[in-house]
Chains A and B, each alone.
Chain A
Amino acid sequence: MLRIALKGVLARKTRLFLTSIAVVLGTAFLSGTYIFSDTLNTTFDQLFADIYKNTDGYVRSSQVIDADFGQEERQRIPISTVDLVRKIPGVSGAAGNIQAFARIIGKDGQPLGKDGFGPPTFGASISDYKGELWTISQGALPTKPTEFAMDDINAKKAKFAIGDSVKVVAAGGSRTFTLVGIARHGQARSPGGATFALFDITTASEFLVKAGFIDAVLLQSDGTLSDEALAAKITAVLPPTLNIETLTGAQITQEIQSDVGEGLSFFSTLLTIFSFIALGVGCFVIYNVFSITAAQRQRENALFRAIGASKRQITQAMLIEAVAVGIVGSIVGLFSGVLLAQGLSAVLRVTGVSLPPGSLIFAQRTIVTVLTVGMIVTVVSAILPALRAGKVPPLAAMRSTALDTPGSITRRVLIASAFGISGFGILLAVILGADNALLGLAILLVFIAILIAGPAVARPVSLFIGRPAARLRGITGAMARQNAARNPKRTSRTAAPVLIGVALVMAVTVLASTIRAEISDAFGKQFTGDFSITAESNFFGGFSPSLADDINALPGVQRASGLGVSVAKISISGKDTGKLVTVIDPLTVEGIFDIGLIDTPVTSLTKDGVFVSQKAALKNSLVRGSTVAVTLSDGSLYNLVVQGIYVRDQLAGNYTVSRQLFDETTVSRFDTAIFILKKDGVQDSDLRTSLNAAIKKYGTGELLSKSEYIKKQAAQVNQLLGLIYGLLFLSVIIAIVGIIITLLLSVHERQREIGLLRAVGMTKSQVRTTVRWESVITSLFGALMGILLGLGLGWIVIFSLRDQGIKRFTVPTTGTVVILILSFIVGVIAAAYPAHRATKVDLLDALSMT
Chain B
Amino acid sequence: MNSPHINTAIAAATSHAVKSYGSGDGAIFALNDVNVEFVSGQFTAIMGPSGSGKSTLMHCIAGLDQLTSGSALIDGVDLSTLSDKELTLMRRERVGFIFQAFNLVPTLSAEENIRLPLLLGNKTGDAEWIKKVIDTVGLSDRLSHRPSELSGGQQQRVAVARALATQPRIIFADEPTGNVDSTTGTEILTFMRRAVDELGQTIVMVTHDPVSAAFADRIIFLADGKIVDEMLEPTAVKVLDRMKSIGS
A and B from one complex: yes
Give the Cβ gap from B193 to chain A, nearest Cβ, in Å. 23
Q: Are A475 and B116 in contact (CB under 8 A)?
A: yes
Complex partner residue of B99 from A482, A756, A758, CB under 8 angstroms: A756
Q: Are B108 and A760 in contact (CB under 8 A)?
A: no
**A766 CB-CB contact with B under 8 Å:** yes
**A766/B107 contact (C-beta < 8 A), A759-B91, A761-B91, A844-B65 known:** no
Complex partner residue of B117 from A483, A752, A753, A760, CB under 8 angstroms: A760
Q: For B116, list chain A residues within 8 Å (CB).
A: 475, 757, 760
Q: For B120, list chain A residues within 8 Å (CB).
A: 474-476, 757, 760-763, 766
**A479 CB-CB contact with B under 8 Å:** yes
Q: Are B102 and A752 in contact (CB under 8 A)?
A: yes
**Would you list which residues of chain A between 301 and 359 have a CB under 8 Å from chain B?**
none
**B103 CB-CB contact with A under 8 Å:** yes
Indicate with 1 or 0, residue by residue over A750-781, a CB within 8 angstroms of chain B CB atoms: 00110011111111111000000000000000
Q: Are B64 and A844 in contact (CB under 8 A)?
A: yes
Q: Are A763 and B88 in contact (CB under 8 A)?
A: yes
Q: For A706, list chain B residues within 8 Å (CB).
A: none
Q: For A765, list chain B residues within 8 Å (CB).
A: 85
Q: Are B119 and A844 in contact (CB under 8 A)?
A: no
Q: Are B88 and A761 in contact (CB under 8 A)?
A: yes
Complex partner residue of B64 from A478, A753, A843, CB under 8 angstroms: A843
Give the Cβ gap from A151 to chain B, nearest Cβ, in Å. 67
**B75 CB-CB contact with A under 8 Å:** no
Q: Are A479 and B91 in contact (CB under 8 A)?
A: no
Q: Are A475 and B119 in contact (CB under 8 A)?
A: yes
Give the Cβ gap from A764 to chain B, nearest Cβ, in Å. 7
**B101 CB-CB contact with A under 8 Å:** yes
**B221 CB-CB contact with A under 8 Å:** no
Give the Cβ gap from B1 to chain A, nearest Cβ, in Å. 24
Q: For B97, list chain A residues within 8 Å (CB).
A: 759-760
Q: Are B99 and A763 in contact (CB under 8 A)?
A: no
Q: Are A764 and B84 in contact (CB under 8 A)?
A: yes
Give the Cβ gap from A481 to chain B, nearest Cβ, in Å. 9
Q: Are B65 and A760 in contact (CB under 8 A)?
A: no
Complex partner residue of A763 from B85, B93, B101, B103, CB under 8 angstroms: B85
**B106 CB-CB contact with A under 8 Å:** yes
Give the Cβ gap from A761 to chain B, nearest Cβ, in Å. 2
Chain B interface category by residue count: 20 to 34
Indicate with 1 or 0, residue by residue over B103-117, a CB within 8 angstroms of chain A CB atoms: 111111000100011
**A688 CB-CB contact with B under 8 Å:** no
Q: Are B108 and A482 in contact (CB under 8 A)?
A: yes
Cα A764 to Cα B92 in complex, Å, equals 13
Q: Are A761 and B99 in contact (CB under 8 A)?
A: no
**A850/B101 contact (C-beta < 8 A), A759-B91, A764-B84 known:** yes
Of all chain A residues, the one with the shortest Cβ separation from B122 is A474
Q: Are B119 and A760 in contact (CB under 8 A)?
A: no
Q: Are A482 and B107 in contact (CB under 8 A)?
A: yes
Give the Cβ gap from B139 to chain A, nearest Cβ, in Å. 18
**B142 CB-CB contact with A under 8 Å:** no
Cα A843 to Cα B91 in complex, Å, equals 13
Q: Are B88 and A764 in contact (CB under 8 A)?
A: yes
**B232 CB-CB contact with A under 8 Å:** no
Give the Cβ gap from A71 to chain B, nearest Cβ, in Å. 64
Complex partner residue of B121 from A479, A757, A761, CB under 8 angstroms: A761
Q: Are A479 and B85 in contact (CB under 8 A)?
A: no
Q: For A483, list chain B residues within 8 Å (CB).
A: 107
**A648 CB-CB contact with B under 8 Å:** no
Q: Are B101 and A756 in contact (CB under 8 A)?
A: no
Residues in chain B within 8 A of chain A (CB atoms)? 59, 62, 64-65, 84-85, 88-89, 91-93, 97, 99, 101-108, 112, 116-117, 119-122, 162
* 20 pairs of residues in contact across A and B, judged by CB atoms under 8 Å: A475-B120, A475-B122, A479-B107, A752-B102, A753-B102, A756-B105, A757-B105, A757-B116, A760-B97, A760-B116, A761-B88, A761-B89, A761-B92, A761-B117, A762-B88, A762-B92, A762-B120, A763-B88, A765-B85, A847-B64
